[in-house]
Structure 1
Amino acid sequence: MGVALRDIIADCKETLDLDALKGVAAIDAHNALYQFLSIIRQPDGTPLMNAEGQVTSHLTGILFRTANFVEKGIKPVYIFDGTPPTFKQETLDQRREVRTRAGNAWKEALAVGDIAEAYKQASASARVDAYVIETAQELLGLLGIPWVQAPSEGEAQAAHMAGKGSVQFAVSQDYDSLLFGSPVLVRNLTVSGRRRVRGRTITVSPERIVLANLLDYLGVSREELIEIALLTGTDYHPGVRGVGAKTALKLVRNGEFESTVAEKLPDFDPASIREFFLAPPVTDDYNLSWSAPDTDGVVAMLSGRFDFSPERVEGALEKLSVKAKQQTLDQWF
């Protein structure tokens, strides 16, 4: 879900071509994997699978998206979630229920031959489980792409790395990265391109949001942006019913955050969530090192175990290998 700040952020988004984004990118792995699992499916919603019924949609996304990133001058590092804070449990339970309901609705739509509805419900039923994470990490290792295990939220770790200059920007679909203090957030990177949505083809382009510009435009501090999020709702608390981002912005600008919470949420103490956004658990124990792909290892994994076309795998590997051999100013690999 993330945080519902879209209505006050729209004017601060900069739409870019993929070619305009270069540098090291900290990608929220859970977010990216969910997007791959949701989008990369058969027309009836069935995910890509090998002969043994193991889902491979996420591996397809990692292979071809990562190769595309590298070809365009983006050095990706994937950040995996650790232990979520206790106050996120209710949201996690709700998401689990939504996925279960969507899975049942998918079966019902298939039974009556409603392919469009089946695809919609199947996408909403996508799950990032231990198998998805383990195989994703295995493939990244073979591709020579670094990944980092966050102690808690992946977005918080990505924001921390962006803040200290280890990466140039954080990548996620959610705006929470801004609350965690990422100087630059890029959205739509893992889903950019031409896509079929509700029967029509649309073009999705990357969007860049610079935190300093956003705060200046809104006339608030980062702490006040967090207060706006607390009123509208986050993954950690539903917020005030009926209060959207524009209303929350007005309340915070007028210095009415505390009084609004006291009146509308008398049993809610925002201190722990505010502190989590300002100082989340993160780690500096990481080594961002890229290397040329293990071609034989990738082919053995994807073609040998997961039934990928050897020709397509080799085509993606060629993009990575060519970049690895180039001697550029930023010394890629």
Structure 2
Amino acid sequence: MGVALRDIIKDYRQETDLEEMRGVVAVDAFNALYQFLSIIRQPDGTPLMDRDGRVTSHLSGLFFRNVNFLEKGVRPVYVFDGAPPELKSTTIEKRREVRDAAGEAWKEALARGDQEEAYKQARASAKIDAAMISSAKRLLALMGIPCVQAPSEGEAQAAFMAQRGDVGAAASQDYDALLFGAPHLVRNLTISGKRKMRGRTVTVRPETYDLQSVLDGLSITREGLVEIGILVGTDFNPGIRGVGAKTALKIVQKGMFAETISEKAPEFDPGPIRRFFLDPPVTEDYRLTWESPARDGIVEMLCEEYAFSEGRVESALERLGMKTGQKTLDAWF
């Protein structure tokens, strides 16, 4: 879900292209996997599956999207969520209920032959399980792409890595990375390109946000941005009823955050949420190195184990110079 900040930061959005994104980017892994699981489906909403009924939508998305990244000079590192904070327990339970309800609605739509509704509900029912996470990490390792295991929120870890200068930006669809202090946020990175939305084809381009430009433009501090998030609602609190991003901005600019909380939610303590955004659990225990893709291992995993089209996989690998033998990193970065 993330924080609903779009209305106040949209003017600071800069559209870009993959060709302009050369360099290292920390990708929120769960965010990307959910995107692949939601988008890569049959017209009736059925996800891609192998002959044994195992979902492969996430593997398809990871493989072909990362081939595109590497070809364009983008070096991704995937950051996986760790244990969710207790603050997030209510949100997690609500999301589970929403996905379960969507799963039932999908079955009902299929039964009555409503393919459009079935596809819509299927996308909302996407779930990530341990097997998907394991297979995703295995494929990334074969592709020579590093993974980082966050102790808690992946976006917080990505933001920390960007603050240290180890990556150029944090990539996620959510704006939370800005609250966690990411100097640069990239949205639409994993879904850029031609997409069908509401029956028409649109071009989705990556968009970037510079945190300092946002703060300067809104005349607030990062702490103020966190306060705006708390007022409109985050993954850790529901927000104040009737307060949207524009109203929250005015409240913070006037220095009335504490007064507003005291008046409208006197039993709510925003302290733990503020502290979590400003000083989240992160780790320095990671190593960012990119290796040449293991061609034979990739073909064995995707084609032999998961029944991917060998022609498509081979064609994608050729784009990385893998037709007649592996090349060094310098050859395709």
Who is 2:93 aligned against?
A: 93
Q: Deviations over 1:110-167 (max 9, x none)?
A: 1111111111100000001111100000100111110000000000000000000000
Aligned to 2:249: 249
Q: How far is 1:326 from its partner? A: 5.9
Residue identity in the other structure for 2:60: T
Deviation readout 1:220-273 (Å, 9 max, x if unpaired): 000000000000000000010110000000000011100000011111111111
Contact kept in structure 2, 1:162 and 1:169, CA below 8 Å: yes
Corresponding residue for residue 168 of structure 1: 168
Query: Which of 316, 327, 332 is the aligned partner of 2:330?
Result: 327
8 Å contact 1:146–1:288 — kept in the other structure? yes
Equivalent AA in structure 2 for residue 87 of structure 1: L
Q: Tell me whether 314-323 or 180-189 shows the greater mean CA deviation.
A: 314-323
Separation (CA, whole Å) in 1 of partners of 2:162 and 2:320: 24
Task: Return the alpha-carbon distance in structure 1 between the equivalents of residues 254 and 51 of structure 2.
Answer: 60
Query: 1:145-184 residue pairs with structure 2 within 5 A?
Result: 145-184=145-184
Distance 1:82 1:326, change over 3 A: closer
Paired with 1:216 and 1:241, the residues of 2 have a C-alpha distance of 27
1:172–1:186 Cα contact (<8 Å) kept: yes
SS at 1:327 equivalent:
helix
Alpha carbons 2:22, 2:74 under 8 Å: kept: yes
| Superposed counterparts of 1:65-214, under 5 Å | 65-214=65-214
Confirm or deny: 8 A CA contact 1:28 1:79 kept in the other structure: yes
1:105 is paired with a residue of what secondary structure?
Answer: helix
Query: Which segment drifts farther, 36-45 or 12-21?
Result: 12-21
The equivalent of 2:45 in structure 1 is 45
Letter in 2 for 1:177: A
Amino acid in the other structure paired with 1:90: T
Matching of residues 17-36 of structure 1 within 5 Å: 17-36=17-36
Residues 183 and 211, structure 1, Cα contact 8 Å, conserved in 2: yes
The number of equivalent residue pairs is: 330
1:172-227 CA-partner distances (Å, limit 9, x unpaired) = 00000000000000000011111111111111110000000000110000000000
Give the Cα separation in 2 of the matches to 1:320 and 1:225.
41
What is the DSSP-based 3-state SS (H/G/I as helix, E as strand, rest coil) of the residue aligned with 2:287? coil
1:152 maps to a residue whose letter is S
Q: RMSD between aligned alpha carbons?
A: 1.2
What's the offset of the Cα at 1:324?
A: 4.8
The code of the aligned residue for 2:27 comes to: I
Shift of 1:104: 0.6
**Equivalent residue letter for 2:52:** E
Deviations 1:292-330 (A, max 9, x none): 1111111111111100011111122223346953637xx
| SS of residue in 2 equivalent to 1:281 | coil
Query: Tell me, which stretches of 5 or more residues in structure 2 are unaligned?
Result: none
Secondary structure of the residue aligned to 2:181 is coil
Say whether the 8 Å CA contact 1:302–1:308 is kept in structure 2: yes
| 2:240 equivalent in structure 1 | 240
Q: Aligned partner of 2:328: which letter? A: K
Distance 1:164 1:321 in 2: 32
Are the aligned partners of 1:50 and 1:307 in contact in 2 as well (CA < 8 Å)?
A: yes
Instruction: Determine the structure 2 residue equivalent to 1:277.
Output: 277
* Cα distance between partner residues in 1 of 2:330 and 2:244: 50
Query: In structure 1, how many angstroms separate the alpha carbons of the residues matched to 2:116 and 2:250?
Result: 40
CA contact (8 A) 1:292 1:321 kept: no
1:297 aligns with 2:297: yes
Structure 2: how far apart are the matches of 1:221 and 1:87?
Answer: 24
**Cα distance in 1 between the residues matched to 2:183 and 2:327:** 28
Q: Is the 8 A contact 1:41 1:47 kept in 2?
A: yes
Q: Give 3-state SS (helix, strand or coil) of 1:196's partner.
A: strand
- Matched-pair contact (CA < 8 Å) for 2:292–2:329: no
Partner of 2:2: 2
1:16–1:205 contact (8 Å) kept in structure 2? yes
